[in-house]
A and B are shown apart, each in its own frame.
Chain A
C-alpha cells in the first residue's frame, strides 16, 4: 500500500449510509449507518431476526437496496458494482458449495474468476483452514464444519481487504473457532477490515474491536470492546450449597483484597485468571465448602446487549467443570 506519509487519518473501507431495506412494506433494515475502519474487526450483533443477514446481503449485492448507499473502498455499490466487489470476500449464512465437485475444484471455481489467485495461494489458503487432508474429496462428503472451513477458504482466496463473514463460527469445533479468531486478528493486523455477524456475545467480545448492536433493523449503538488484558469486568460465580457467608470468609482469609460479593447462594469474584479460579475452588473445597457450580461471566457487552434489546436470561455463561 502506498499511503501518503503524514496523512495518517483513518481510512474507512466499508461505509453504510442510511441503508434501508423494505420487503413488502415491512422495514427490515432501518436507516442503518456505520463505517468500518481499515484493519479492524467489526461485529454485527443482534438477536435472531434483527436484520444482520439482510444487511450483509445488501452489502454484497445479493438483494436490492431500498434506500441509502454502500461504499466499499470508496466505490458505490449501486453505481459501480464490479469495482466495489473486487476486493470483497464473503460468506452469507451457510457457505453453499458444489456438492458434486471436490473441495479443490470448488476453490478453483472462485480462483479462476478472481484476479491474481495463484496456485500457491490456493495451497496456502487450504493449509490455513486446515483442510488439506480432505481437499480432494467431494464436498458432499464434508461435515458442516468442513464446509464452513472451505467457505472461509473461498472468501480469503483473493486476499480481500473487506472480509464479510455471517456467523462464521457456525459449525466450527473449538479448535476451528480458535484458529479462525487468531487468523482474523492476523488479517486485521495486516490491514483487512473484517465484518462478522453473530448473536453470540462471548464470541463477539473475544473477536471484535467494535460491535454494532442491531435490533429490529435499527442500530442501537456501537461499542468499543476492551482489550483482552483489561478483563476486570470478568466475574466468576461460585454456587455454594450451605453457608455462603462462611465460604466468603474462606476466600477473604486467602486474600483480603479480593473483590468478593454475596448474591443469594452465589459468591461473585472479579477475576479472569483461570488458574486463580481453580485455586479459589481448591481452597473452598479444602475448607469443606460444597461448591456445586462455577461460572465465568464476561459482563459489559452482555449486560448492555440484554439491556438494549430488553431480553432476559443469561445468554453467555461459560461453565467450568467442578472438581469435587
Chain B
C-alpha cells in the first residue's frame, strides 16, 4: 500500500523530537566556535614568517629524533618524526605554507566532526526501533496492514536519510563558515603526505575533502545497520548505543592491540575508519585499502541487515 507514508511518519517522528534539533545544532556551534577562536587567537606574524617558524620546528624535531634514536624509542614515533621533518623541509623548499587556511583547508581540519555525527546517528538509529518497544508504541504500528519488513525498512531508510541530511548540513555549514572566515578560494591548494616509499608528495585538499564526504556516507550506513541490529536484538537503546559507540571509538584501541594478527583486516573495527585510507596517513593497519575496506563494510552491513530483518519479522511483541 502506501509505503512512502510509513517513511513520512518515521521522518516526522525523528524531527518531532527536540533532541534531533540539538544534534543538528551542536556540530554547527562547534564549527563556528572553532573558526571564531582561531580568528581571534591566530598570530598573523607567525603566518607571515611561516618559513622561519617551520625551520625552527624542523630543528626541534631533528633533536627529538636524535634523542629518540639514542634511547631506542618506539619505531612509530621515530617514523612520524622523520616524516614530519621531511614534509616540513619539502614545504619550505616548495613554498607550500601549512598555515594558510582556506574554506577547504578548514573543511579538512573539521573532518573530525564526522565522529560526532556518527555518535548522534547511533543514538537516533538505536532509538527508532527500541524506543517504540520500550514505550509500547510499536504495537500500534504493527497492527497496520503492512508487513513487518516494510515497517522496519521505513525506519531504516528514515534513519539513513537523517544521517545523510545531517552530514550534508554539517558539510555545507563548514564550507560556509570556513569561507566567511578565510575566504572561499583555495580549490587548488595542496597539502603534503608521506607516501609508503617515504617520499613526500603533494595532494589537493579538495580531493581529500570530497573523498571524505563520500566515505562518511558509507561509514554512516554501516553504523546505522549496526545500531539497528543491536537495538532490534536487545530491544534496548542503551545496549545499542553502548555497543555502537564502543565499535566507533574503542575500535582503534582494539585494532592496535590486534594489529599483528592476519585476520584483523576482516574485523569490523579495523575497517570503520575509512578516512585514514584516503591518503594512507596515520593508518593503523598497513594492509588495508579503500576498496577492500568498503567491501568488508558492505558484507558486514548486508549480514547485519539480514539478521535484523529476520529477527524483527518473527519477534513476539509483548510490549
Contacts and interface: CB of A to CB of B under 8 A. Distances in A.
Contacts of B2: 112-113, 115
B302 interface: no
Residue of B1, B18, B145 with highest tally of chain A CB at under 10 A:
B145
Nearest to A60: B143
Contacts of A206: none
A96 B316 contact: no
Contact of A82 (B147, B316, B317, B318): B147
Contact of B317 (A62, A81, A85, A98): A62
Interface string B143-178: 111110000000000000000000000000000000
Contact of A63 (B1, B17, B18, B316): B316
B140 interface: yes
Given A96-B137, A97-B140, A113-B9, A83 B16 contact: no
Given A61-B142, A85-B145, A113-B9, A99 B1 contact: no
A109 interface: yes
B147 A88 contact: no
Interface string A188-202: 000000000000000
A98 B1 contact: no
B237 to A, nearest CB: 15
Contacts, number: 79
B13 A98 contact: yes
Q: How large is the interface on A (under 10, 10 to 19, 20 to 34, 35 or more residues)?
A: 20 to 34
A17 interface: no
B144 A110 contact: yes
A83 B140 CA distance: 17
Nearest to A83: B145
Contacts of B18: 100
A97 B278 CA distance: 46
A113 B5 contact: yes
A101 interface: yes
Contacts of A105: 12, 16
A95 interface: yes
Contacts of A122: none
Contacts of B146: 82, 113
Contacts of B1: 82, 113, 115
B16 A100 contact: yes
A85 B136 contact: no
Interface residues of B, number: 27
B261 interface: no
Interface string A135-166: 00000000000000000001000000000000
A96 B16 contact: no
A12 interface: no
Nearest to A84: B145
Given A62-B316, A64-B314, A96-B137, A109 B9 contact: yes
A64 B317 CA distance: 9
Contact of B316 (A64, A85, A115): A64
Contact of B8 (A93, A101, A112, A115): A112
B147 A92 contact: no
A114 interface: yes
A96 B140 CA distance: 7
B265 to A, nearest CB: 40
Contact of A96 (B6, B13, B136, B147): B136
B5 A112 contact: yes
Interface string A48-86: 000000000100111110000000000000000111111
A85 B9 contact: no
B130 to A, nearest CB: 14
B70 interface: no
B145 A57 contact: no
A62 B148 CA distance: 10
A309 interface: no
B203 interface: no
Contacts of B318: 57, 62-63
A115 B318 CA distance: 27
Interface in B17-31: 17-18
Contacts of A269: none
Given A62-B317, A96-B139, A113-B146, 10 more contacts: A23-B316, A62-B316, A63-B317, A92-B139, A94-B136, A95-B140, A97-B140, A105-B16, A113-B2, A154-B140
7 contacts: A57-B317, A61-B142, A96-B135, A96-B139, A97-B140, A109-B9, A113-B146
Interface of B: 1-2, 5-6, 8-9, 12-13, 16-18, 135-137, 139-140, 142-147, 314, 316-319
